[in-house]
Amino acid sequence: MQSRNDSPVLRLAIYYHAIVYDTHHLDNEQAVNKIAHVLSDIDLAPLGSPPDDYDLYPKQIRCEYD
């Protein structure tokens, strides 16, 4: 069982909590939320896969959309 302290959501929140920080704007939190939403839709699993699997991934994506 995964602990709350090891949650992927918690990690993302920590990593990206200040990805947008503009002292002249009051909407920093909203901007961070937009970026976090985009990041949550990205499949990052291939980046941590073995090289052969990583090389195969774009080929599979191309086949999916052909």
24 is in which domain, residue-wise? 4-65
Q: How many structural domains does the chain have?
A: 1
* pTM tops 0.75: no
DSSP at 50: -
CA distances, 32 to each of 13, 15, 21, 38 (Å):
10, 11, 9, 10
**For residue 5, what pLDDT is reported?**
61
Helix, strand, or coil (residue 54): helix
**For residue 42, what pLDDT is reported?**
76
Helix, strand, or coil (residue 23): coil
pLDDT per position as a tens digit, 10-49: 777 777 777 888 889 888 888 888 887 777 777 778 888 8
